[in-house]
Every structure is written in C-alpha cells, then in structure tokens.
Structure 1
Amino acid sequence: MNSRTFLDIPLDVFDLILEKLKPMELLISRDVCRSLRTAVDRFGFGIDEIEVYFRDENLTLKWKNDDIWYFGAVKGGTIVLYDDGERKLRIEKKHFVGIALCDLRIFLKHASMLTIYDYLKDRQDFIESFIEILKSDGIIKVKEIVFFQVSFKDAIAILPYFDAEVLDLQTTGSINQFEQMTHLSLWKNCKTFKFSRYVDSKLFSHLFHFENFNISMLDFNTQIAMKMRDDLMRRSTFKSCRIEFDKWNLIEIAKVFKPDYAGGNVFKIKYSNNDYTFTIKCKPWHGMAWSNKFTVFVRKL
C-alpha cells in the first residue's frame, strides 16, 4: 500500500488549513517534511510589507498585526518570541542573527516591500551576516526597499542583491559612494528614487532615467532648472519630481519655464514643450512661510 502525503489532501482543503496558521507556524511547518515545505512555499505567508529591526541585543521581523523577536539565549542558542510574546520557541546551538536572517530570506520571496531599520551600536557583524545570507540566493525582487538609519556604506553593500521599483534611502554617514551606486543594476532598473540627503548638482543628471524622484539639493539654481527643461522634461519616462532646497533666486527659476513671469517666490505655472505639458509649483518647505527652504514640484499632466 502506497504511503500518502500531505499533498494528497485536495488543494482547496489544504489551503483552508494553511490560512489558519500564522507566519511563524508556517515556518515551523516547512521543516516537517518536503511535502509541507512545497505546500507552504506555494501558499505563501500572507506578508506584503516586512520590516527588519537590527539591534545589538535582538533582531525583530515585523509586519501588519504580527512580529517575531529573536534573542540570544542566556546559555547559548536562540529564543524566538511570537504571537505578541505569548509563545516561545527555543533553538539550541544556533545564533539568533543567523536564524532570523534565514527566516527573513524565506519571507522576502513572498513580500513586496522591505524596510530595514539599523539601531546597531557595536555589532557591524550583523550586517555582514545579512550580506552573506543574501549571497546564497539569487536576486531578490521586491516592489520597494527602504533603508532607515542604515549607513550609506552598508546600503551600497546590500543593494546588489535586490531588484526593486522603488528605492528609498534615509541613510547616515558619508555618501562619497553615491556615484558607485549609480552603476548597480537596481539603480538602472528602478523607477522611483527617494533620498533624504543632499544630492550634489554634479550628480543630478544620474536621476534623469527615473519616472519619479524626491531629493534635496544645496545648489538648486537656474542651470539646474535649464537641465530639467531641456533634458529631463523631454523624456517620455519622466513623470514627476520633488526637490527641496535652500532659498535661491526663485523668480529667476520661474523665468526658466515662463520668461515673462512677474510674480513672487511662491508660484504655480504651466509649462509645455513640443511633447509634454507640466505643472511646476514652488512653495515654502512644508508650507512654513518663514522657512529659508523651499520645495519645487514638477508633474507631467
């Protein structure tokens, strides 16, 4: 008599069983047998947006309405807390970082957004371990990847293992490697770029292949505005941008797009070239009239 496996259960019935399980329970089920691993990987984990928090004393994976905490056990091994800390799993002889990152790698095959928070003080080896685990797989595709408090250096080291439509960098440390980032496949394939740091005007043209970008600049001026008018805004792929900058001669910038402009620093004008029409708005940073910073918005109509 042939032995039967979990896969002999009708798929609709099996899915009803799996949908009752939480992500950690699904992970545990994957380790039972090959049949269950296949079934869980087909079904997925119901995770769309996942956050990973690196801390010296623990590593946390978090998503809507759930999270998993990984701690080092006092006498070695790992303690895993889930279900709001009500359930605990002890894993012997394995470091919590390695276990957490292997679980993260499995989740990422089913997620569309990854946000990385770096609150590490003394444990650079955690990021190095993450990169080593990423090396063991092919390129991981997500819709969006966000770095929060991650050093720019570490972000550059992690990005080669991802492909994403949206890249959001809220990084720390030196950005001397910015130009190196522009050679990555992810950079070339990405559609939207968000950067919380100042971008040098020498690097501005590296942004022109994006459909959308949000950046800050110290030296936004008429030369930059003319580059936008004569190159960026003639590209079929470009849709919108937002640029925050220290106050400059805003009237002269407006005249780049409307030579007869006679208004003030706050404006909304329409500009058309032979191919496309845009709205161009300029207003004080976050609407604060007293601010020395301004924001210009460009949107293709």
Structure 2
Amino acid sequence: MTSKPLTLLNLPISIANQVLEKLGPVEILTCRKVCRNLRTAIDKLGTHFNKISIELWSNSVLLDFDGIKITHSARFNGGSYVLFNGRRKTIEGVNYMEVAFKDLKILLKHTSKLYILKRGRYRGNIVNFLVDVLKENAHIHVETLTLDNFSVDDVLLILPLFESRTFEEITLRETFALDQFERITHLDQWKNAKRFNFWISPFDCPPIEYFFHFEDFTINIYNISMQSVIKVRDDLLQRCTFQKCIFFVLNLNLDPVELARVFQPDYAGGDEFKLDYSNGKSKFEINFGDCSFRDGIWKFEIKKC
C-alpha cells in the first residue's frame, strides 16, 4: 500500500510550527507565497523584527530587517533581480518596486520601528508607488517612524497610512520650508505621538506651541526668540506630560545671560550654564552651552527631574 507523501502541511500543527520557527526571514517571505495555508500558518505564528529599514534608490530598493539585507533592483533589459547574501535571483516580467514593497507590507506586520530613507536622485513615482501598496493594509501599526530626506508633500502622503492610536514617535530628517510645516500638525499621527525629533539641517522655528503636546522633542533651529523661551517656561513646563526638550540653535539671537534669567532672575554667571529650576509643581534641570558634536551650534536642554 502506497502511503501519502508527508509534507509540511500534513504535519501536526505543533510540529509544523517548530519547523517554521527555524526559518530565516527570507525563507519565511518565500513560504508565505507558496499557498494560502502556509501564509495563514506563518501569520498566526508571527515573527518579530526590532527595526525595518527601507532605502529608496534611483533603480533599486534595499530592505533591511535587523541587519538582514535584501536588494530589489531593475534589470536593464526588463524585469528585476533580488540580491541576498551574495546570491542573485532574476525575476522576469516583474517590477522591482512591486516585489520590494509587497515584501515590506508583509514585514510591517511584525515590527514596531520603521525607517524610510530616500537616497540621492530617485524616480519621482516611487513614493506614490509605495503609498499605493501600503494603502492595501489600512492602518499600519508601528510605534516609531523615521522619514529621511522627504518633502512635506511626501510626509503628508505617508504619515496618514499609519494607525494614529499606536503611534509613539516621529523623526524627520533634512529641511523643508517653514510655511509648509503647519500642514503636518493637523494629522492625527502628529497629534497623538509622544516624541518628535528633527535632525541634520536647522530650520526656521515654527510656532513653538506646535511641539508642546510632546513628552519629549528634539529640534534643530536657526534661532529661538525670548518670547518662545517664555512660552516654554509658562506653558510647556506646566504640563504634567512634559519630560524633556532639546533645541540645537545655529544662530542664537539672544544673550545667553538673559536666557538664563528667564529661569533664574538673579543669574550673574557666564554664557554657559546649568540651572535647577522649580515652578512650584515640578523641578527641572536646564543646560545651555556649546554643542559637543558640532562647532557653532548652541544646545539648550530642559528635562524634568
């Protein structure tokens, strides 16, 4: 009597899960594409990645999940190819962006941190292509999102794709026009996030109140006004949710001594200072001085004790 060939799908679920648990991320992506039953089994089992990064190049997309890198690239004569661990696989008749972003859509179910970087000169439609694919999964759940070298228009397309109720932190890198920044502040993702970071290039500071709902924020700015510092003291530091803020200031238009006197009226020290401040509700440590990692930048930091 001929026995039925034993396959993974014929194994008891407990044994099949043990097999699936030993697969690497690339093998998991491959198995999901075999059939509906395997896709369901893998999704129920779950695979967590600490951080997923995606880099958008002119003719390729790099996916990096916990240090494991897969590059999807266009071929000169059509189709695409995948490069992983030194091995190259050709895929005929398929757009490299479509393959990469569909893999990303799967991976996003299993991570809380996402970093997206636009590298150099890239095809103008790649952001729209990414958005269209991600829209197929309504309300993507991540806690931390970094968008590097994107315009405000790109940010406004990408941010709303993520579930605002689970959003914890937004990081934006590179400069965009101040008069466009206000558009981002109307998004639920901005309103619900607890932390915000703006890195690399300084920008003209928008109304300081935009940042007051964050528990923790870091921004690079050209200037900070005395009026803004007073609002920080009288509004931000009164909020029970506030924990820390850092301003990296390129062209300080304030006398540092006058800045210190906002928090300690009898201050008579130098341009760099460390103060203990209390508003009757909470205590704070205030530091001001040269930035340690870049000349010509002032660092103004306030943190709740």
TM-score, normalised on structure 1?
0.91
Q: Write the distance in 2 (CA, Å) between the matches of 1:109 and 1:122.
A: 26
**1:174 Cα deviation from its structure 2 partner:** 3.2
Q: 5 Å matches for 1:151-170?
A: 151-162=151-162, 163=164, 164-170=167-173
Are 2:68 and 1:66 aligned? yes
Equivalent residue for 1:228?
Answer: 232
Are 2:244 and 1:240 aligned? yes
Are 2:278 and 1:275 aligned? no
Q: Write the distance in 2 (CA, Å) between the matches of 1:259 and 1:287.
A: 30
Equivalent residue for 2:185?
Answer: 182
Equivalent residue for 1:294?
Answer: 298
Equivalent residue for 2:101?
Answer: 101
DSSP 3-state at the match of 2:182:
helix
Equivalent residue for 1:14?
Answer: 16
Q: 5 Å matches for 1:73-222?
A: 73-82=75-84, 84-86=85-87, 88-162=88-162, 163=164, 164-196=167-199, 197-222=201-226
Contact 1:53-1:118 within 8 A present in 2 as well? yes
Q: Which moved more, 1:7-16 or 1:33-42?
A: 7-16
Contact 2:59-2:122 within 8 A present in 1 as well? no
Deviations 1:21-70 (A, max 9, x none): 12121111112222211111122334220111111121110122311111
Unaligned runs of 5+ in 2: none
Contact 2:148-2:173 within 8 A present in 1 as well? yes
Q: Write the distance in 1 (CA, Å) between the matches of 2:99 and 2:77.
A: 17
Q: Which moved more, 1:197-206 or 1:226-235?
A: 197-206
DSSP 3-state at the match of 1:226:
helix
DSSP 3-state at the match of 1:257:
coil
Q: Which moved more, 1:66-75 or 1:171-180?
A: 171-180
Deviations 1:85-113 (A, max 9, x none): 22x43333210001101110110111111
Q: 5 Å matches for 1:39-54?
A: 39-54=41-56
Distance 1:74 1:200, change over 3 A: closer
Distance 1:279 1:76, change over 3 A: same
Aligned residue type for 2:187: L
Q: 2:290 aligns with which of 279, 284, 291?
A: 284
**1:275 Cα deviation from its structure 2 partner:** 1.2
Q: Write the distance in 2 (CA, Å) between the matches of 1:8 and 1:262.
A: 80
Aligned residue type for 1:59: V
Q: Write the distance in 2 (CA, Å) between the matches of 1:294 and 1:171.
A: 19
**1:263 Cα deviation from its structure 2 partner:** 0.7
DSSP 3-state at the match of 1:138:
coil
**1:72 Cα deviation from its structure 2 partner:** 1.9
Distance 1:152 1:43, change over 3 A: same
Between Structure 1 and Structure 2, the one with more strand by share is 1
Equivalent residue for 2:33?
Answer: 31
Q: Write the distance in 1 (CA, Å) between the matches of 2:175 and 2:204.
A: 16
**1:150 Cα deviation from its structure 2 partner:** 2.3
Distance 1:12 1:285, change over 3 A: same
Aligned residue type for 2:228: I
Q: 2:263 aligns with which of 249, 252, 257?
A: 257
**1:259 Cα deviation from its structure 2 partner:** 0.8
Aligned residue type for 2:231: K
TM-score, normalised on structure 2?
0.89
Distance 1:155 1:175, change over 3 A: farther
Q: Write the distance in 2 (CA, Å) between the matches of 1:33 and 1:241.
A: 50
Deviations 1:244-293 (A, max 9, x none): 112331111111111111111111111111211100011102266xx443
Aligned residues: 297
Q: Write the distance in 2 (CA, Å) between the matches of 1:186 and 1:5.
A: 45
Contact 2:53-2:64 within 8 A present in 1 as well? yes
Aligned residue type for 1:93: G
DSSP 3-state at the match of 1:177:
helix
Contact 1:52-1:61 within 8 A present in 2 as well? yes
